[in-house]
Amino acid sequence: MRLEGATCILTGAAGGIGSALAKNLAAAGVRLILAGRHSETLEGLSADLSPGSILESCAGDLTDGLVQESLCHAARRGGATILINLCGCNAFGLLQEQDPEDVQRLITTNLTAPIQLTQKLLPHLLEQPVAMIVNVGSTFGALGYPGYAVYSASKFGLRGFSEALARELADGPVNVVYVSPRATRTSMNPAAVSALNAELGNAEDEPEIVAAAIVSAMRRRARRTGIGWPEKFFSGLNQLVPAVVDRALSRQLPTIKRFAVKQSQ
């Protein structure tokens, strides 16, 4: 899809991947409607971007239907043709130790809110000659990983939503693009996650690498894009022979549990 001159809503804009993506898109000539929870961080990001690339900043919690509505109003005002559902949160830890409210918040933020925002904006996108919805998932949306049961559930859901919606919209102007990064060096990952990744030899990408991969997927209108080897291989293997991945992960389990268990216990 041609990005130059397009208007794009970017949720999670002030986060690690979001700010790198905003810079990449602004440099490509995209006009941005930035969404995040805090107006100060959105203003800070806007100050770093080329003048004229920011149409609006919308601050608010995207799990709130009214915030979703006001973002859709901004999208219609600005003639947006691209929605990037990037906003998300994570909670690394064992399920039995997690607060039920955190479980609910994670599912609402990572899965329900992107679906609701997409549904609200879809009538507007369907009126455009060409439009795009980009959903940012995770490697753990194709490979359930210990310590990430709820996060994996949310990203499996987002992947299923993206695939079904892409097929549902295949005869119209709206392209659906799903991108699944592997571990990325942002504040989403607490020190325990980075230490676990280091011990297991799991790579962590810089957010700029992920941003470039998302922009490339958008230009190619790629329905599915995974980022990084061997994560792409293991995601595919998990679809074909999950028992092999079960065995590999059971060998890692004592290490994962050492980092995932609550430190106070």
Ligand X SMILES: NC(=O)c1ccc[n+]([C@@H]2O[C@H](COP(=O)([O-])OP(=O)(O)OC[C@H]3O[C@@H](n4cnc5c(N)ncnc54)[C@H](OP(=O)(O)O)[C@@H]3O)[C@@H](O)[C@H]2O)c1
Binding residues (CB under 6 A) for ligand X: these are 12, 14-18, 36-38, 41, 61-63, 86-89, 109, 136, 138, 181, 183-184, 186-189
Min dist CB 144 to ligand X, Å, is 14
Which listed residue (145, 148, 151, 178) is catalytic? 151
CA distance 142 to 156: 6
CA dist., res. 22 & res. 28, Å (int): 10
Known active-site residue 178 = no
CB of 127: closest distance to ligand X in angstroms? 26
3-class DSSP state of 7: strand
How many angstroms from the chain centroid is the CA of residue 20? 13
**Distance between CA 174 and CA 131 in Å, rounded?**
5
Question: Which residue lies nearer to ligand X by CB, 47 or 243?
Answer: 47
3-class SS at 64? coil
| DSSP per-residue codes, 145-199 | -TT-HHHHHHHHHHHHHHHHHHHHTTTSSEEEEEEE---BSSTTS-HHHHHHHHH
CA quadruple 181, 185, 189, 194: dihedral positive or negative? positive
Which is closer to ligand X, CB of 39 or CB of 128? 39
> Which residue number, 41 or 118, has a Cβ lying nearer to ligand X?
41
Min CB(103)–ligand X separation in Å? 14
The tally of CA atoms less than 13 A away on the side-chain side of residue 168 is 10
Rounded to whole angstroms, how far apart are CA atoms 183 and 62?
24
- Tell me the closest approach of the beta carbon of residue 158 to ligand X, in angstroms: 8
CA dihedral for 242, 247, 251, 254, sign (positive or negative): positive
What are the residue ranges of helices labelled H in the chain? Answer: 16-27, 39-48, 65-78, 100-107, 113-126, 149-168, 191-200, 207-220, 231-240, 242-260
Closest separation in Å from C-beta 171 to ligand X: 29
Catalytic residues: 151
